[in-house]
Copies of this chain bind each other. A is one copy, B any other.
Amino acid sequence: MIVQCENVANLKMNACDQNFMKDALAFARAAGACGEVPVGALVVADGRVVGTGFNRREERQSPLAHAEITAIEEASRRLGSWRLNDCDLYVTLEPCIMCAGAILQARIQRLVFGCLDPKAGAVESLYRLCEDQRLNHQLPVIGGVLADESAALLADFFAQLRQQKRDTRKAERWPSPVEGA
């Protein structure tokens, strides 16, 4: 019976997580539409969104303008506290070292992410920072929620970027007759 109850709770939790991840994906798409690497994030307290963010590194020319940092910044401002220990963070891509560190600093209670980042991910791929018992905060991490959608967004973005670069090189090597006249 206990196992059954747990399963029901997990199912509910997953449905909720998927809904919030869908919202985070909408923010990721907003980033992509602005020419930024498409990553989106939400901070949720008691089922209510209190912070949102998407990657704006190029627009703001700030190395700090990752989706998670922006969402945490907004949540702290709205809740008037640096302690976000009643908050969950949703992000479409596995957090990097900086963002995992910010999640730990903010005492986020639970992290849900989309797809893995094998080159820079710091909660599963390169490091498992949210589990480090030497630090003064640890938190459960749920990865792989709507991972395919998150990964497809990124793959499409980088494919387009490569195509644009190829087109630019081609145009440089073979200027059109009018331009070259």
Query: Which residues from B are CB-within-8-Å of A83?
Result: 63
User: Least Cβ distance of A65 to chain B in Å?
Assistant: 8
Interface string of A60-74 (1 = CB under 8 A from B): 111111100100110
A-B contact pairs, 27 of them (CB 8 A): A57-B82, A58-B82, A61-B80, A62-B76, A62-B77, A63-B72, A63-B76, A63-B82, A63-B83, A63-B84, A63-B106, A63-B107, A64-B69, A64-B72, A66-B105, A96-B101, A97-B104, A98-B100, A98-B101, A98-B104, A100-B101, A101-B101, A101-B102, A119-B136, A120-B136, A126-B134, A126-B135
Inter-subunit contact A105/B64 (CB<8 Å):
yes
A61–B73 contact, CB under 8 A?
no
Q: Which residues of chain B have C-beta atoms less than 8 A from A106's C-beta?
A: 63
Q: Within the oligomer, what is the number of copies of this chain?
A: 2
A62-B76, A64-B72 given; name 14 further pairs at CB < 8 Å.
A61-B80, A62-B73, A62-B82, A63-B82, A63-B84, A63-B105, A64-B76, A66-B105, A96-B105, A97-B100, A98-B101, A119-B136, A120-B136, A126-B135
In the complex the two chains form, what is the Cα distance from A80 to B81 in whole Å? 30
* Chain B, residue nearest A65 (CB): B82
Residue A99 at the chain B interface, CB threshold 8 Å? yes
Contacts of A91 in B (CB 8 A): none
Is A30 engaged at the interface, CB distance under 8 Å to the other chain? Answer: no
